[in-house]
Amino acid sequence: MNYVFGASKGEDEERVKIFFNKHLKELADMVIKQRIIYNEEARENIKEQFKHPKLFEVKYLENTTPAEINIWLDKVMIVLLTKNPTVVLISNKKVADSFRQYFEVMWMIAKY
């Protein structure tokens, strides 16, 4: 299971949309389940995932953040979707577990 929160349309909306639609298709092809909390402003950019409803569970938050956080296994990837994207990858089980706990709190607050 992968967890993502703070997903947004980024500064280069079209480029981010193309990338994520391709990425979501690849995840679906590998049958990797996702729980994603999108920023509300990204709702229209994510139509690809709705082709795979068994793999993607999605909620939204009104508040937006410039950083997207991806959590899987013992990894946390922090992505800033600016014109020149920045990625920070942390490989640490305790850090990943901590972010997963934070994700669960955010999941309870987020709405469908």
Give tens-digit pLDDT for 45-97.
666 556 667 788 989 998 777 789 999 999 999 988 888 888 899 999 999 99
Sign of the torsion formed by the C-alpha atoms of 76, 40, 48 and 54: positive
Taking the C-alpha atoms of residue 42 and residue 55, their distance in angstroms, rounded to an integer, is 19
pLDDT 10s digits, 3-20: 999 877 677 777 777 777
pLDDT value of residue 28 = 74
Q: For the whole model, what pTM was predicted? A: 0.80
In the chain, where are the structural domains located? 2-109
Tell me, which fold does domain 2-109 have in CATH? Answer: Endonuclease; Chain A (3.30.870)
- Chain mean position to CA 74: 16
